A and B are shown apart, each in its own frame.
Chain A
């Protein structure tokens, strides 16, 4: 059918990407999302533990240490909670 330039001629594809075959149909998007969530959270928790160690060991005499760690922990928890609200 030749294009007429009108919006009614737009064909909506059934999927955006190529058909990757039946193997990909076995992947559960919910499981992928859950794995990704736990991976990022574990990485962040690991980082927080290491950062806290450095702050407490090398910056322990500074008044900024406790507020900095508290703010980091609070913001991280809020963002984890926000991401958690989107888990399927």
Chain B
């Protein structure tokens, strides 16, 4: 990552993206919208069985032998594919990186806004996890909230990450490595 340079002696401990199920859930609207026009011939076939003159009423057939259908189906699928790829791009480029000294939060908002924030592990005051619901419990993903100490207290939220408890333990271990004299941090 060009926007993220490691300090001397700093090492990446872990890099985290959202859980694959969260990604699949974000993709599902595109999959559903992709299928809708493909189901049109089935719907027309059913309506034709109810009313044999239905095809004439709508002014032509809706199968792929109709050039207009191919044009609009192709454009529709192209738009849906582009939306799905955009979801994948955001999933791939959004990540949280835990190093031996800090946590880096990288988010891509739209095309032209990329947000990169980092804070030192030595400033971490509190780390909490939240696994809420059936699917998060079964598939093991949830939210990790990291709060920093100081007058300008900040908190970072990593939502939909896999194994938030394991990540919290990792962060606490890194903090205790930084502050071996302060047990309990």
Interface residues of A (CB under 8 A from B): 7, 10, 12-13, 16, 33, 36-37, 40-41, 43-44, 47-48, 50-51, 54-55, 57-59, 61-62, 64, 68, 72, 75-76, 79-88
Which residues on the A side are within 8 Å of B85 (C-beta)? 51, 68, 72
13 interchain pairs, CB-CB under 8 A? A12-B56, A16-B57, A16-B58, A33-B71, A44-B78, A58-B1, A62-B92, A68-B92, A76-B81, A83-B70, A83-B78, A86-B70, A88-B71
**If A61-B1, A85-B67 touch, does A79 touch B74 (CB 8 Å cutoff)?**
yes
* B contact residues around A7 at 8 Å (CB): 51-53
Q: Is the CB of B1 within 8 A of A54?
A: no
Query: B52 contacts which chain A residues (CB < 8 A)?
Result: 7
Q: Which single member of A50, A68, A80 contacts B74 (CB below 8 Å)?
A: A80
Q: Mark B37-77, 1 if CB is under 8 A from A, else 0.
A: 00000000000000111001111000000111111111101
Q: Could you tell me if B68 and A86 are in contact, using CB atoms closer than 8 angstroms?
A: yes
Are B51 and A54 neighbours in the complex by a CB distance under 8 Å? no
Complex: chain A residue closest to B56, CB-CB: A12
**Which 9 pairs, one residue from A and one from B, show the smallest C-beta to C-beta distance?**
A83-B74, A86-B70, A86-B71, A82-B74, A79-B78, A86-B67, A40-B75, A72-B85, A83-B75
B137 within 8 A of partner (CB): no
Q: Known contacts A33-B68, A54-B93, A85-B70; is A79 also within 8 Å of B81 by CB?
A: yes
* Pairwise interchain contact A12-B57, C-beta atoms closer than 8 A: yes
Structural contact, A13 and B70, CB atoms closer than 8 A: no
Question: Chain B: which residue is nearest A57 at the CB level?
Answer: B2
Q: Is B79 an interface residue (CB 8 A)?
A: yes
Residues of chain B from 76 to 90 with CB closer than 8 A to chain A in the complex: 77-79, 81-82, 85-86, 88-89
Cα(A7)–Cα(B54), bound, Å: 11
CA distance A86 to B74 in the complex (A): 8
Instruction: Known A44-B82, A51-B89, A58-B93; judge A79-B71 contact (CB<8 A).
Output: no
